Chains A and B, each alone.
Chain A
Amino acid sequence: MTFLAKPKVRHPSLPKNSLGLTRRDYEGSMSTLCAGCGHDSITAAVIEACWGLALEPQNLVKLSGIGCSSKTTAYFVGGGHGFNSVHGRMPSIAMGANAANRDLTYIGVSGDGDTLSIGLGQFCHAIRRNLNMLYIIENNGVYGLTKGQFSASADVGTQAKRGEVNRQPPIDPVLLALTLGAPFVARSFSGDKQQLVPLIQAGIRHRGFAMIDVLSPCVTFNDHEGSTKSYAYAREHYDPAVNADFVPFAREITADYSAGESLPIVMHDGSRIVLKKIAPDYDPTDRIAAMAKIQAGMRRQEFLTGMLYLGRGDREFHDLNEMPQTPLNAIPYGQLTPGSKGLDKILARFR
């Protein structure tokens, strides 16, 4: 199997963003995933989101671990720099890359296996450092690439394709991220592009760690009856609580949000996320209340989706570490060395 370059067909009628680029310009190489795989829909949403934001492709860094989900960074924004690392350890690559150059946009794509088992430690610590990135979990409840074993997000009672029933409680990335203090926590479904695209856009523009857990059915190993991560089950138990609209800086808020149910939140760069509350009693700015509601939903076998929590004014990694605006990789060498004169001073201590 070789690398397939997607032929770029130019259609003069295709809509262009402010950079003059069409959606096609944000595509990557041809997906090699199974037809119908939820991950491909998420790829499409990422393409739409990046096009909509008019991101300069070369300023996008796409990071991933290992899994079907992690392969998808090759399938969007071919003009961005990709780093497909090792299983479960994308967060550390993202951390190092981000420390070296804060000016780029970092999107990490991971799977439930990649994040919640082998990579659980790195995921947690990326949150603790408030690494400025968008972290997408393409959550299908199984290890797709190794052929369908249960992952740590598999619900109790869910059934594997071969009949085995899971008895171990799941790790919920949303609750975990909330517990660890993540400033931006969302959940969505690969089948709901409407909801997902603005969330991705908001997550990219958000300063600090933004996590979106996206339910993304694996058609090959986890889309049967008895599975709680199938398309059918997801549609049935899907419960949007707070949808988000992303409004880039300098664009008017035009939609009609009825008072009390919408909440515009201004982001660091001046753009806004307008939260549209579908469940009026849900408060996405109260971490504790959000956690209670999410858990209550789980008890009813419903999975709440949307912008579940959005904190304000968090200090991300560079702020916390008092680092300069200039990316470290752009500081001229002359400013990094004390030179021979400095060395004389330093050596005095060792005489």
Chain B
Amino acid sequence: MQDRTNDFALKIATVNGTGSASANTLLMKSIFRSGIPVMGKNYFPSNIQGLPTWYEIRVSHNGYVARSGQIDLMVAMNAETYARDVREVASGGYLLYDSTWPRPTVFNRQDITILGVPLAQMCNENFDGLRTRILMKNICYAGVLAALLDLDLERIRELLAETYAKKPKLVDANMRAIDLGYGYARKHLHCPLPLKVAPLSQTANHIMIDGNTAAGLGCLYAGATVAAWYPITPSTSLMDAYKAFADKWRVDKATGKKNFAFIQAEDELAAIGMVLGAAWNGARAFTATSGPGISLMGEFIGLAYYAEVPAVIFDVQRVGPSTGMPTRTQQCDVLSAAYASHGDTKHVLLLPRDPEECFYFARDAFDLAERLQTPVMVLSDLDIGMNDWPCPDLKWDDSYQPDRGKVLSAEQISKLEKFQRYLDADGDGIPYRTLPGAHPKGAYFTRGSGHNQYGGYTEDAAEYQLVIDRLVHKFQTAKTLVPRPVVDRNPRVDIGLIAYGSSDGAVREARDLLRARGININYLRVRAFPFGEEVEQFLEQHRLLFVVDQNRDAQMRSLLTLETRVEKAKLRSLLHYSGLPISSEFIVAGVLAEVGTAARVVGVSA
């Protein structure tokens, strides 16, 4: 194998509930701290203990964060999955296993190197207690990898010291396990492998954070005070993060009182109701959920749309339909979110690509929800939400002031002849609202039943239509307020690709790979719905457009055909819906299959 310094992928196959997560985090963070861009993805079962789990680490001096689609080194720690794990190793790659027991017959590939280390034996000899031995076996393989990949032991020690700051004994025990693995590998194996790391300085001013934590932090910074939710994977950690931050930063020092309400609801029907009640009453309120929760919230989302109540909803998407595969990733709620609820409804969607955007879009979601007086859904997914991504440091502008939208103050209300809740006074489709208790003249009746522009009940055709048509106008206004798409376009190229959310990493890498083969494609990353004029233009500018969706039914492609002027025939879907995050390889293959040889591609530049 040629030298693959700082450019490889390794995968660790273990059993969940055995403490492998800390070993994996240790490995990844030590690489990150050595200045090398690294990304970890966790493939875990919907189960608490005893089922197969994989952790994939991508080391890339190019900063690629997606799955490459290729595994160069497999750490096979789970006998149950040996057969499939050995198959997955790329030709010329390596497999590391626990040689306490005889070499399994399934390890019969000639084109890869198989490395054995008696991990269990070493740990049994050096540690007492079943639980400790199992835990230390995981730390021990991290030691082996440290030798094979040439990791900096000092960094590992430093990380352990931070993790177990309050339990110094554990630092020693863990370090002993690291040394065991490290020592054995140095003595018996050829170290380091061509797959190795060498310090760089590319991670300065970067953090490793998961999207749910970043989103929870964004809610804290946005000034959200009411959080209501019902536990569901993979959104739970978003609420946990918000609560942990709020417990630290929102407790009044003098009184010990909490400047937030954190309510575990009885179900999603109630969680969204609480968000609407709070937002209607002037607090910034949000919930987080996943597909099944969005289905349950439907009726209230429609009420919020029609009665014009702000709401922020994070949908951390997982594999559907139904319960689906709760711990696997997809982008399968695009259509159900865009048109959530019965009747004519349309909703603002924000589509973050990574944790960094989760943070900023959380803030934007509250501003938009209050400005537009409507639900705003942030569609993240399990890959973004639950994996640690390298991101530039999050920044906060201290001059930020929340946009509370058109809320009339007591003084403004007092000057009115009469308050009219649903009147389009400014011509932008957005009416004025009042908060309960503000002023006697500000009272109105909020209802999901037919209402006229003054807020009164109606079943009159013209009155009803006036309001429902204004909502269309409001949605037009939303186009100008939502995050704009990110466009990378060479005017001489007439093939384009549209992607959104977590597919971005794979797309960026795929474009580089295609470019190396002489194929250039333009790229537009959709960051929000409704689509603005830039999306329309991009669609017009290309004769052929790939649309990347991580779902079976080409949901973004459908949304584009429904909501823009594009001709359907120009759109080609690249659909990835296995439950694993999309890989760059998949996109390259999909594009090549369509455009065939480079010669067929019009407008290809050198």
Binding site for B on A (CB under 8 A): 1-3, 29, 56-59, 61, 63, 73-74, 78-86, 89, 91-101, 103-104, 121-122, 124-125, 129, 321-325, 328-329, 331, 333, 335-340, 342-343, 346-347, 350-351
Of B42-50, B68-76, B435-443, the segment with at least 4 beta carbons within 8 Å of chain A is B435-443
Contact for B397 among A63, A81, A92, A340, CB less than 8 A: A340
In the complex, per-residue mask of B268-282: 1 if CB is within 8 Å of any chain A CB, else 0? 011111111111111
With A57-B443, A86-B299, A103-B437: A2-B281 Cβ-Cβ less than 8 Å: no
Residues of B within 8 A of A339 (CB): 396, 398
With A86-B300, A121-B270, A335-B259: A79-B443 Cβ-Cβ less than 8 Å: yes
Q: What are 12 A-B contacts defined by CB distance under 8 Å?
A: A3-B454, A57-B443, A58-B438, A81-B436, A92-B271, A97-B281, A100-B281, A100-B282, A328-B261, A329-B283, A331-B259, A350-B207
In the complex, the answer to whether A89 meets B270 with C-beta atoms within 8 Å is yes
Residues of A within 8 A of B223 (CB): 333, 336-337
Residues of B within 8 A of A79 (CB): 440, 443
In the complex, the answer to whether A329 meets B393 with C-beta atoms within 8 Å is no
Residues of B within 8 A of A338 (CB): 220-221, 249
Of B77-85, B135-143, B444-452, the segment with at least 4 beta carbons within 8 Å of chain A is B444-452
Residues of B within 8 A of A84 (CB): 445-449
In angstroms, how far is the closest chain A Cβ from the Cβ of B457?
5
Residues of A within 8 A of B225 (CB): 100, 328-329, 331, 336
8 A-B pairs with least C-beta separation: A96-B277, A92-B273, A3-B456, A100-B283, A96-B274, A96-B278, A81-B436, A329-B282
In the complex, the answer to whether B299 meets A2 with C-beta atoms within 8 Å is no
Contact for B436 among A101, A124, A322, A324, CB less than 8 A: A101
- The docked-state distance in angstroms from the alpha carbon of A338 to that of B265 is 27
Q: Is residue B256 contacting chain A, with contact meaning CB distance below 8 A?
A: yes
Residues of B within 8 A of A3 (CB): 452, 454, 456-458
- The docked-state distance in angstroms from the alpha carbon of A260 to that of B209 is 67
Q: Which residue from chain A places its CB closest to the CB of B204 in the assembled complex? A: A351
In the complex, the answer to whether B273 meets A122 with C-beta atoms within 8 Å is yes
> A86-B300, A96-B273, A329-B435 known; 11 other A-B pairs, CB under 8 Å?
A58-B437, A58-B443, A81-B446, A91-B273, A100-B277, A125-B266, A322-B256, A323-B258, A331-B225, A338-B221, A340-B397
In the complex, the answer to whether B394 meets A343 with C-beta atoms within 8 Å is yes
With A58-B437, A97-B436, A100-B281: A92-B258 Cβ-Cβ less than 8 Å: no
- The docked-state distance in angstroms from the alpha carbon of A85 to that of B272 is 12
In the complex, the answer to whether A57 meets B440 with C-beta atoms within 8 Å is yes
With A97-B280, A343-B396, A347-B207: A92-B445 Cβ-Cβ less than 8 Å: no
Contact for B282 among A59, A98, A101, CB less than 8 A: A101
In the complex, the answer to whether A92 meets B274 with C-beta atoms within 8 Å is yes
In the complex, the answer to whether A340 meets B435 with C-beta atoms within 8 Å is no
- The docked-state distance in angstroms from the alpha carbon of A347 to that of B395 is 10
Contact for B439 among A58, A74, A103, A129, CB less than 8 A: A58
- The docked-state distance in angstroms from the alpha carbon of A339 to that of B458 is 46
In the complex, the answer to whether B269 meets A99 with C-beta atoms within 8 Å is no
Contact for B257 among A95, A323, A350, CB less than 8 A: A323
In the complex, the answer to whether A322 meets B457 with C-beta atoms within 8 Å is no
Could you tell me which residues of chain B, from 411 to 444, have a CB within 8 Å of some CB in chain A?
Answer: 435-440, 442-444
- The docked-state distance in angstroms from the alpha carbon of A135 to that of B104 is 68
With A84-B445, A347-B393: A333-B278 Cβ-Cβ less than 8 Å: no
Q: Which residue from chain A places its CB closest to the CB of B275 in the assembled complex? A: A96
With A96-B275, A324-B258: A82-B447 Cβ-Cβ less than 8 Å: yes
Q: Is residue B146 contacting chain A, with contact meaning CB distance below 8 A?
A: no
In angstroms, how far is the closest chain B Cβ from the Cβ of A145?
11
- The docked-state distance in angstroms from the alpha carbon of A324 to that of B282 is 16
In the complex, the answer to whether A350 meets B277 with C-beta atoms within 8 Å is no
In the complex, the answer to whether A99 meets B259 with C-beta atoms within 8 Å is no
With A84-B445, A100-B226, A338-B221: A1-B457 Cβ-Cβ less than 8 Å: yes
Residues of A within 8 A of B440 (CB): 56-58, 79
In the complex, the answer to whether A93 meets B249 with C-beta atoms within 8 Å is no
In the complex, the answer to whether A104 meets B437 with C-beta atoms within 8 Å is yes
Q: Is residue B252 contacting chain A, with contact meaning CB distance below 8 A?
A: yes
In the complex, the answer to whether A81 meets B447 with C-beta atoms within 8 Å is no
Q: Which residue from chain A places its CB closest to the CB of B269 in the assembled complex? A: A89
In angstroms, how far is the closest chain A Cβ from the Cβ of B252?
6
- The docked-state distance in angstroms from the alpha carbon of A342 to that of B220 is 11
In the complex, the answer to whether A81 meets B444 with C-beta atoms within 8 Å is yes
- The docked-state distance in angstroms from the alpha carbon of A337 to that of B398 is 9
Q: Is residue B602 contacting chain A, with contact meaning CB distance below 8 A?
A: no
In the complex, the answer to whether A83 meets B443 with C-beta atoms within 8 Å is no
With A96-B277, A324-B255, A342-B249: A86-B207 Cβ-Cβ less than 8 Å: no
- The docked-state distance in angstroms from the alpha carbon of A85 to that of B209 is 39
- The docked-state distance in angstroms from the alpha carbon of A93 to that of B303 is 12
